[in-house]
């Protein structure tokens, strides 16, 4: 098992071009791959209920099977368990799945009911950023999620720490906001696919913890991006307002520009992303994703 530590960021429409032109990527040639992914679950969505995602990914002539478990984090940062191995195909390696600890309670009958649910197809550009203190992999994904006739766009960036302290992810992301319109995103491609398939988004609870209200706001913005329904943007605004009033209003100064920029053209703007990252960096990444 690998432990994946990454920072997920959604981009504005202008974000990909701004990113490619950023000085931090100057002189680095990205690798490019076209990835086709099929996600599987039982008819009763038992993997989704357990916060797991199972996919087959085709990358050229290679076919890889991946199981990801529920994550811990918030504000775009996540830590997840991940098992990945190459398979012969064309279907799932059920024997390999049965041997994994997260599926120890799944019966042979349950595993036999696994079937395709939705797919993601995207082009990935990957830059390797290395120095004496860290190695960060920056991946730009552009494509779509499709479930039947329904489609939503993929336009996101993932920063994954390969070597060094996770705090280096925040530093790089904040540096990019001098030019790139972005924001933290907490919803995985798998969870977005499930929402597209079912037509249902569910927001996490708020409560008395600042990190919980931030997570609720970020998921509401994920839903707004995919559905374009203004009720989700208003749900995000409300969550930000609740967060602003916690602990005697200690976060009001950071929250004010986030609320003000929700209506900005080509949202999220670089200013929105910078303010959101500075806020999320202050809060504990302790919610279940």
Q: What pLDDT digit, counting tens, does each position of 60-76 carry?
A: 889 999 999 987 877 77
Regarding whether 219 and 166 lie in a shared domain, the answer is no
* CATH number for the domain harbouring residue 29: 2.40.320.10
Regarding whether 137 and 82 lie in a shared domain, the answer is yes
Q: How confident is the model at residue 86 (pLDDT cuts 50, 70, 90)?
A: very high
- Single residue among 122, 149, 184 that ends a domain in this structure: 184
Burial string for 103-117 (b: 16+ CB within 10 Å, else e) reads beebeeeebeebeeb
Q: Structurally, how many domains does the chain consist of?
A: 2
Regarding whether 174 and 224 lie in a shared domain, the answer is no
- Single residue among 156, 184, 212 that ends a domain in this structure: 184
Please give the pLDDT value at position 29. Answer: 96
Contacts (Cβ under 8 Å, ≥6 apart) of 149: none
pLDDT at 1 over 70: no
Q: What mean pLDDT is predicted for residues 260-286?
A: 91
- Single residue among 184, 217, 243 that ends a domain in this structure: 184
Please give the pLDDT value at position 287. Answer: 73
C-beta of residue 127 within 8 angstroms of C-beta of residue 25: yes
| Virtual torsion, Cα 149, 153, 157, 158, nearest 10 deg | -20
Rounded to two decimals, the pTM is 0.94
- Paired strand residues for 115: 41
Q: Name the average pLDDT for the chain.
A: 94
Please give the pLDDT value at position 100. Answer: 95
Q: Using one digit for the tens of pLDDT, what is the confidence trace for 174-218? A: 999 999 999 999 999 999 999 999 999 999 998 888 999 999 999
pLDDT at 34 over 80: yes
Print the domain residue range for 42: 2-184
Burial string for 38-65 (b: 16+ CB within 10 Å, else e) reads bbbbbeeeebbeebbbbbbbbeeeebbb
For residue 190, being part of any structural domain is answered with: no
Instruction: Name the residue with higher pLDDT: 4 or 243.
Output: 243
DSSP letter string, 164-179: S-THHHHHHHHHHTTT
Regarding whether 204 and 152 lie in a shared domain, the answer is no
For residue 191, being part of any structural domain is answered with: no
């Amino acid at each position: 098992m690998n432990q994946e530590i990454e920072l997920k960021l959604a981009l504005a429409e202008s974000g990909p071009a701004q990113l490619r032109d950023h000085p931090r990527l100057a002189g680095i040639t990205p690798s490019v791959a076209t990835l086709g992914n099929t996600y599987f679950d039982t008819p009763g969505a038992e993997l989704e209920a357990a916060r797991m995602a199972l996919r087959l990914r085709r990358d050229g002539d290679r076919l890889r099977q991946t199981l990801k478990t529920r994550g811990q984090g918030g504000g775009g940062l996540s830590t997840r368990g991940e098992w990945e191995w190459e398979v012969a195909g064309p279907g799932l390696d059920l024997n390999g799945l049965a041997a994994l600890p997260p599926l120890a309670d799944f019966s042979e009958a349950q595993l036999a009911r696994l079937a395709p649910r939705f797919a993601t197809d995207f082009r990935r550009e990957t830059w390797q950023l290395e120095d004496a203190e860290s190695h960060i992999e920056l991946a730009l994904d552009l494509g779509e999620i499709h479930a039947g006739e329904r489609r939503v766009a993929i336009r996101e960036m993932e920063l994954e720490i390969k070597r060094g302290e996770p705090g280096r992810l925040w530093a790089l992301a904040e540096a990019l906001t001098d030019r790139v319109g972005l924001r933290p995103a907490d919803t995985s491609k798998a969870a977005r696919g499930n929402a597209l398939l079912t037509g249902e988004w569910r927001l996490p609870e708020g409560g008395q913890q600042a990190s919980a209200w931030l997570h609720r706001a970020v998921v509401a913005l994920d839903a707004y991006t995919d559905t374009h329904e203004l009720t989700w943007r208003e749900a995000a605004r409300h969550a930000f307002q609740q967060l602003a009033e916690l602990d005697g209003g200690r976060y009001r100064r950071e929250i004010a520009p986030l609320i003000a920029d929700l209506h900005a053209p080509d949202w999220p703007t670089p200013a929105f992303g910078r303010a959101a990252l500075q806020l999320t960096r202050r809060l504990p990444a302790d919610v279940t994703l």
